[in-house]
Structure 1
Amino acid sequence: MAHTDRAMMPPVDVLVVGAGTTGLTLALQAHAHGASVRVVERRPEPFRPSRALILHPRTLEVLRPLGVTEALLDVADTAPTARVHLGSRVVEAGLGDLALPDTAFPQLSLVRQAHVESVLTRALTDRGVAVERGTELLTARDDGHGARAVLRSAHGIEEARCSSVVGCDGPASAVRESAGIGWYGRPYAEEVILADVDLGSAFAPFGAQVFAGRDGLLFLFPLGEQAPWRLLATRTSADGSGRDFGQPGPAVPRAELQRLVDDTGLEAVIERLAWSARVPLQCRLARRFRRGRLFLAGDAAHNYSPATGQGMNAGIQDAVNLGWKLGLTADRLGPGTDVLLDSYDGERRSAAQGRMVLTHAAFWAEASTGRVPSWLRAVGAPWAAPLVPALLDRRRLVAEAVRLISQLRVNYRRSPLSVDGTPRLWGAPRPGDRLPDATVSTDGTVGRLHGLLARPGVHLLLQRDADPPPDVLTGPRVTVLRLTNSPGRGLLAVRPDGHVGFRCGAVDPAALSAWLSLAGVTAAG
């Protein structure tokens, strides 16, 4: 087997396998917190067309400190509308400017996954990190002192040395297989049908269109990449054997797609079919997200149905959680950092279990052909349609639904990184909770809290009368901010992913130092 001169390349801290949205975000977050990174991707070109189409508010929040959110919003529809067809009734809904005062992004943003990947790739390039396409991971292992990975590319075979390997390489993850991590779950009996279609000028784009029928839902998004419309339908799978879950499979005949459109009652003709595929689905969760120096994130760790749009968003949030932990411990991995690194599995696997319940219930209502869900879509929903506008007018109700699906309520209260000091600081977010956005005053200047924290690292928020922390506890990875509109002597320590880590009613240098050490921030910063 031919070896390449690349086998002599110096080791890096983090080898990221997979250059989808999860892998690119992981690389950015780890790099922003001090790690050297490599990103390898077996595909020679970016995957097209996009599968994911929605960015949630929480996802935009966690990406903001990496400096990419504005570029994403520039290519997104941040005020999307939807027409929901329930039998003969049509209900219009707006998904922008929701009643979410504690976030800077109170909307569901429609954006193609391909555009998200382009923005993230450009940000990595600006930081001097190039994606190595056409490079496949063959095996990876923990050698007791770090990790070793065998890579194959056009240059030959390379054994790469690194501190950690992160598998962001999808459902058929080579990293998961190398780590010997099993996963449990099952295939769905239903599949997704995707297509880019041109429905002609008689059907002009007006936001997303959703059609509820006895056999499932059909969506039309004005986000096609090779034609004006992206069609997404859920139907019973035609073939249960030999499926590559989550990956586009055989093309769908135009006649079959036209029948799907006709079944909705929509008087539209597919004038041009640019692309189509069947996508088999499964619901699975890895039994662990870490084994030694090998980690899993995104679709390599969990697979869901497309209901509520979790895939891309969950992977990005995994990456932000793990990336800062690998970055801050890159130069000193060992027993002293195991609590921090193990917290990734405890925090994100628990969140994934909650998402699995949510998506499974939503997909049952959306796609199951059982008697009850079929009746609900075909009979119950049209009957209840007159009540829907009144419900949508209750903006707080809609906002709470978006808060749930976008993971704004996820907390890590049981994490070892969530610490309450003495005396306790009452009236503040609990350790492990997401820090909500708010209007604050700092040195006489009024601004939004999340905007002030939109940079990598740990943030110490001091109340107005709090003692300053000792200089030895601050440094390039720790930012101190005094909130002059918040009376009291306490402080909050906010993790790089926007969750509260430490809370105390007074500045206790010893307790704060212990938490900063636990979080991977040394006295030198």
Structure 2
Amino acid sequence: MTGAVDVLVVGAGPTGLTLALQARDHGAHVRVVERRPEAFRPSRALILHPRTLEGLRPLGVTDALLGLADTAPTARLHLGPRVVRAGLGDLALPDTAFPYLSLIRQADVERVLATALADRGVEVERGTELLAVRDGRHGADAVLRSGAGTEMIRCPYVAGCDGPVSTVRACAGIGWHGRPYAVEAVLADIDLSRAPGCGGAEAFAGRRGLLLLFPLGERAAWRLLATRASGGAHGAAFGQPGPAVPRTELQRLLTDVGLDATIERLAWSARVPLQYRLARRFRRGRLFLLGDAAHNYSPATGQGMNAGIQDAVNLGWKLGFAVRACDGEPADELGAEVLLDSYDRERRPVAHRRLLLTHAAFWAEASTGRVPSWLRAVAAPIGAPAVPVLLDRRRLVAEGIRVISQLRVSYRNSPLSVEGTPRLRGAPRPGDRLPDATVSAGGPAQRLHHLLARPGVHLLLQRDADPLPDATSGPDVDVLRLMNSPGQGLMAVRPDGHVGFTCGATDAAGLNGWLALIGAAALSASRL
């Protein structure tokens, strides 16, 4: 049995790669295994939300991602004979550096994240499958199989980022509730006899469901995503591409929504069975569930990849701090429990709310019931003239994006959210996401998130706050005085961009107690 690893990450999709980066950048030795021998598979996800980009920014990957993304996407919504044009870039979101929806293939996201991980000396071990894992008192014991044979390892923690049919979830004995949808997705890369619009996305709302065309095909010019009544069981795992769809069926989908174009070339297609499910817990002992292993959603509002990445941003730093809190020695088990338990307490309620959101949206988009079919086929065309008026209300659109993107997520009920005395007025509450803003830190004005775009805990002091003791600074704790913020208070910002501790005065004892709670105090003290 071999060791020398703190966190075994099972699965090298966007969730697993992000978790490995976040844990690695916060002190953990990570190992990433992926049962698929090849990296490429047709992308299912095609969008990154603003909050996801905020979470990835301290990992140093956003520039590379945005270089591959369309950050000013346009779309045409076809409602019967009416066509409504919409722009999804430059939204009214002044408190984020990413006020837009970014269209980018999942395969491109994985390539950028894997490259960043390789730059840190961690290579994804493809063709390596987790056969079994067991939670134990002194570590998690895992059995791996690769071309070199079978291997047993013991490590402090195992993160299951291994999709809907999760081996980690099965071995942990964690059930999940939900059910399959009666509607399935159809994916295809196609070339058309003529372009349907002006180069942006095309959305068709028909009686039988929704059909989308994105100029993001990997093997042809267009990626088709459609929904239709499920054809029954055909052996494919939920959320995974299954059998191919005949060209005649794809052409019928285009014809049914009124698109006058012929499929000239079909490069690839698949049926994808869909479900909505939520794991009953996200942690059991040393075993954790993230992404599709913890929750499954419909494609509505583009949550899957974003939800997994946001899970990873939340958990990665906690694992890093837990295993590296004593300068290379495992953290005290009792001291780490509150920190690690907070992952389930914070992320599972968010996942439940997201499931309700996507379920409602998918009912309207894709259900074949009489009411949603009538809404799409009859009511939507009648109401189409009002859509441009609604889209012109940028604040209304921006509020919708805030909800979809999870910019409104708060962890106020988390044990890691601590408010000191006196209360810090006029600032985000502990647990809230830290908004971006223009600040002055003794030099030219800069955006706050730019100043905090690196791993670790960030302590923000108001202009007149007393200096902090030297023991609270170090490689993992960064101190920044905001000269344009009058007052004597302070705020501690977690590595995932959420506020952890606030106080209207420089309460060194309260701050150190919070740092000890998350394991950062020991990290700093040991490296001064």
Determine if the TM-score, normalized by the shorter chain, exceeds 0.5.
yes
2:351 matched residue in structure 1: 352
Cα displacement string for residues 212-241 of structure 1 (whole angstroms, at most 9, x for unaligned residues): 000100000000000000000011101146
Q: Which residue of 2 aligns with 1:48?
A: 41
Structure 2 residue aligned with 1:193: 186
Tell whether the 8 Å contact from 1:472 to 1:524 is kept in structure 2 after alignment. no
Return the alpha-carbon distance in structure 1 between the equivalents of residues 219 and 402 of structure 2.
32
Deviations 1:448-478 (A, max 9, x none): 0000000000000000000111111221110
Residue of 80, 83, 90 corresponding to 1:97: 90
2:482 aligned partner, one-letter code: L
**1:65 lines up with 2:58 in the alignment:** yes
User: What corresponds to 2:516 in structure 1?
Assistant: 517
1:508 maps to 507
CA contact 2:234–2:243 (8 Å) conserved in 1:
no
Deviations 1:336-366 (A, max 9, x none): 1100000000000010000000000000000
Correspondence for 1:3: none
Q: Letter of the aligned partner of 2:242 in structure 1?
A: G
1:155-182 deviation per Cα after TM superposition (whole angstroms, max 9, x unaligned): 0000012110000000000000111111
Q: How far apart in 2 are the matches of 1:488 and 1:202?
A: 58
Which residue of structure 2 aligns with residue 450 of structure 1?
449
Distance verdict in 2 for CA 1:276–1:205, change over 3 Å: farther
Using the alignment, how far apart are the partners of 1:14 and 1:228 within structure 2?
40
Structure 2 residues not aligned, in runs of 5+: 324-329
Q: Report how far residue 523 of structure 1 moved.
A: 4.2
Corresponding residue of 1:380 = 379
Aligned to 2:32, what secondary structure does the other structure show? strand
With over 3 angstroms needed to count, the CA separation of the structure-2 counterparts of 1:202 and 1:209, relative to structure 1, is: closer
Alignment pair present for 1:233 and 2:232:
no
Which structure 2 residues correspond to residues 25-424 of structure 1 after superposition, within 5 A?
Answer: 25-203=18-196, 206-240=199-233, 242-330=235-323, 331-332=330-331, 334-424=333-423
Deviations 1:367-410 (A, max 9, x none): 01111111110011100000111111111111111111000001
Question: What SS class does the counterpart of residue 43 from structure 2 fall into?
Answer: coil
SS in 2 for 1:58: helix
Q: Which letter maps to 2:416? A: L
2:99 counterpart letter in structure 1: P
User: What is the CA distance between 1:257 and its match in structure 2?
Assistant: 0.3
Name the amino acid aligned to 1:319: A
SS at match of 1:210: strand
Q: 1:423-462 maps to which residues of 2 (within 5 A)?
A: 423-462=422-461
Conservation of the 8 A alpha-carbon contact between 1:474 and 1:523: no
Any idea what the Cα deviations from partners look like across 1:79-121, whole Å, max 9, x if unmatched? Answer: 0000000010100000000000000000000000000000000
Q: Distance in 2 between matches of 1:159 and 1:223?
A: 41
Could you tell me which of 3, 8, 23 is aligned with 1:15? 8
Contact 2:190 2:223 in 1 (8 A): yes
Residues 159 and 287 in structure 2, CA contact (< 8 A), matched pair in contact too: yes
Aligned partner of residue 70 in structure 1, secondary structure: helix
Closer, same or farther: CA 508–375 of 1 in aligned 2, 3 Å: same
Retained in 2: the 8 A contact 1:473–1:523?
no
CA distance in 2, matches of 1:172, 1:264: 34
Which amino acid in structure 2 is aligned with residue 467 of structure 1? D
Name the amino acid aligned to 2:192.
Answer: L
Distance 2:44 2:5 in 1: 31
Residue type of the alignment partner of 2:385: P
> In structure 2, how many angstroms separate the alpha carbons of the residues matched to 1:205 and 1:328?
49
In the alignment, the residues of structure 1 paired with residue 266 and residue 64 of structure 2 have an alpha-carbon distance, to the nearest angstrom, of: 31
Query: Deviation at 1:200?
Result: 2.8
Change (3 A) 1:43 1:243: closer
Counterpart amino acid of 2:514?
Answer: W
CA distance in 2: counterparts of 1:323 and 1:335, whole angstroms: 19
Q: Any idea what SS the aligned residue of 1:442 has? A: coil
For 1:202 and 1:409, locate their aligned partners in 2 and report how far apart those are by CA, in whole Å: 38
* 1:444–1:484 CA contact under 8 A, matched in 2: no
SS of alignment partner, residue 93 of structure 1: strand
The separation in 2 between residues aligned to 1:139 and 1:48, in whole angstroms, is: 25
Larger displacement relative to structure 2 (138-147 or 104-113) = 138-147
Shift of 1:278: 0.3
Deviations along 1:247-303, one digit per CA (max 9) or x if unpaired, are 101100000000000111111000000000000001000000000100000000000
- On the 8 A contact 2:187/2:270 being kept in 1, the answer is yes
Query: Take 2:214 and 2:359, find their aligned partners in 1: how far apart are those partners?
Result: 23
Quote the Cα distance in structure 2 between the aligned partners of 1:444 and 1:221.
44
* One-letter amino acid of the counterpart of residue 345, structure 1: D
Aligned to 1:4: none
1:311-338: per-residue Cα shift (whole Å, max 9, x none)? 0000000000000000011131511110
Q: Which amino acid aligns with 1:346?
A: R
Structure 1 residue 205, shift from structure 2 partner: 5.2
Asked whether the 8 Å contact 1:205–1:222 carries over to 2, the reply is no
Count of residues in Structure 1 that have an aligned counterpart in Structure 2: 518
Inter-partner Cα distance in structure 2 for 1:468 and 1:267: 69
1:444 CA drift (Å): 3.2
Contact 1:513 1:523 in 2 (8 A): no
Q: CA deviation at 1:242?
A: 4.2
SS class of match (1:49):
coil
SS at 1:308 equivalent: helix
> Where has structure 1 moved over 3 Å in runs of 4 or more?
201-205, 240-243
Paired position in structure 1 for 2:498:
499
Q: Between 333-342 and 487-496, report the one with greater CA deviation.
A: 333-342
- When structure 1 is superposed on structure 2, of 198-207 and 303-312 the one drifting more is 198-207
Quote the Cα distance in structure 2 between the aligned partners of 1:119 and 1:108: 18
Listed as ranges, the gaps of 5+ residues in structure 1 are: 1-6
Cα gap change, 1:299 to 1:202, in 2 (>3 Å):
closer
Other-structure match for 2:326 = none
Report how far residue 146 of structure 1 moved: 1.2
8 Å contact 2:158–2:286 — kept in the other structure?
A: yes
Partner secondary structure for residue 440 of structure 2: strand
Paired AA for residue 302 in structure 2: G
User: 1:445, CA displacement in angstroms?
Assistant: 2.2
